[in-house]
Structure 1
Amino acid sequence: MSQSSRYNSRRRRASARYRGPAEPPAEGAAAQDTEPNQHEVARAIVLRQLTASAKSRKQLEDKLADRDVPEEVAQEVLDRFEEVNLVDDRAYAAMFVRSRAETRKLSRSALRRELQQRGITGELAEDALEQRTDEDETEDAHELVRKKMPRSLDVSDRKEVDKVTRRLVSMLGRKGYPPGLAFGVVKQELSNHGSAHDFSEPDPWPGA
């Protein structure tokens, strides 16, 4: 069983132990007779969010804030979810890095930014990013370039080769790869493609 599967299985087992309402209190006339329990409302929101997909604690905090759940209530509810391992930023970060690296081929710097947006920084983020090596990044960069390389590229056309080079280097840059690595990968793949053109390194971020 993969680590991702084990994490999801653990979430399901913990959810079975954590007894909260399936839905928040009813709206309308029925709600007028009973003052909504803020903790129950918060638990219902968090459970729905986690059922849809794994979330970091910050993402859940933001969702609760959007629903006007008082901060004190949100923190108490999320603390309890952490106690039963339904909210686990370390496991979430590791799973997130594997998934995004596999599906998007993002570099570690891009993954670090995305983790930060989800409230995961410092040791937790760096531990998750250790799954990715320099060799992994280089291999993924080559794969990305091969997929985007025009099959009809005229390698004897200097202008066309330079245009394709800039486009491919920019594509890698948007995924977080540094210019030096991006240019080196593109140059090697062009060479493999049959280009004998001895081109100089162009501006990788034209118009920036």
Structure 2
Amino acid sequence: MARAIVLRLLTGAPRSRHQLEQALAKRGVDEQVSARVLDRFTEVGLVDDAEYAHMLVRSQRESRGLARRALALELRRRGVVGPHADDALATVDAEDEEESARALLRRKWHAGRDLAPEVRARRATAMLARKGYPGALAGRLVREMMEETRSDDSEDRHDPWDPGSLD
């Protein structure tokens, strides 16, 4: 029974050992039986928390744009801690994180074109914080985006009757 439950769960999506342990416990499977089944699945490579952690970090960064801090929370929530989590999180460097934050910010910024700049800045900063980006990074990127927007707006404004405003 435990083997069938684990196979069915793994067919749907990859899972951590902790998630599988919880699912088996919820279905009333004895802990010793659960441990033996999961040990065997780990032995043959069907349950691999290290690979699961790397896959989760990669997919959550790409799909949701999460920063290292949010990724660490997501891994912990799914029961992946220690060296497996640390190794997976080490694949995200500061430059990648900043580039992801910039891409998220651009999308959020352009979506709020009709809003006042202060509102756009507040919402963008909050969004980056929810995604786990450090406050200093979020603040710096939002200030840069505000300056960029101001300079774009000043370039777009020219007096059509003043031939010198086109320079």
Q: Give the TM-score band, short-chain normalised.
A: 0.7 to 0.9
How far apart, in 2, do the equivalents of 1:108 and 1:195 lie?
32
Where do residues 47-196 of structure 1 align in structure 2 (5 Å cutoff)? 47-150=7-110, 153=113, 160-194=116-150
Q: Which amino acid aligns with 2:17?
A: R
Higher relative contact order (CA 8 A, sep 6+): 2
Following TM superposition, by how much is the alpha carbon of 1:165 offset from its aligned partner in structure 2, in angstroms?
A: 0.7
Percentage of pairs with the same residue: 49
For residues 154-186 of structure 1, give each alpha carbon's deviation from its aligned partner in whole angstroms, at most 9, with x where no partner exists: 7xxxx9211211110000000001111101111
Asked if the contact 1:142/1:189 (under 8 Å) is kept, the reply is no
How far apart, in 1, do the equivalents of 2:96 and 2:117 lie?
27
Q: Which amino acid aligns with 2:46?
A: L
Give the superposed CA RMSD: 1.9
Following TM superposition, by how much is the alpha carbon of 1:122 offset from its aligned partner in structure 2, in angstroms?
A: 1.6
Return 5+ residue gaps in structure 1 as ranges: 1-40, 197-208
Cα gap change, 1:51/1:161 in structure 2, threshold over 3 Å: closer, same or farther? same
Following TM superposition, by how much is the alpha carbon of 1:151 offset from its aligned partner in structure 2, in angstroms?
A: 5.7
Cα gap change, 1:177/1:151 in structure 2, threshold over 3 Å: closer, same or farther? closer
Following TM superposition, by how much is the alpha carbon of 1:101 offset from its aligned partner in structure 2, in angstroms?
A: 0.6
Structure with more helix by fraction:
2
TM-score scaled by structure 1?
A: 0.70
2:4 to 21, 26, 44: 44
Q: How many equivalent residue pairs?
A: 153
For residues 57-103 of structure 1, give each alpha carbon's deviation from its aligned partner in whole angstroms, at most 9, with x where no partner exists: 00000110111111111111100101101001011111111111111
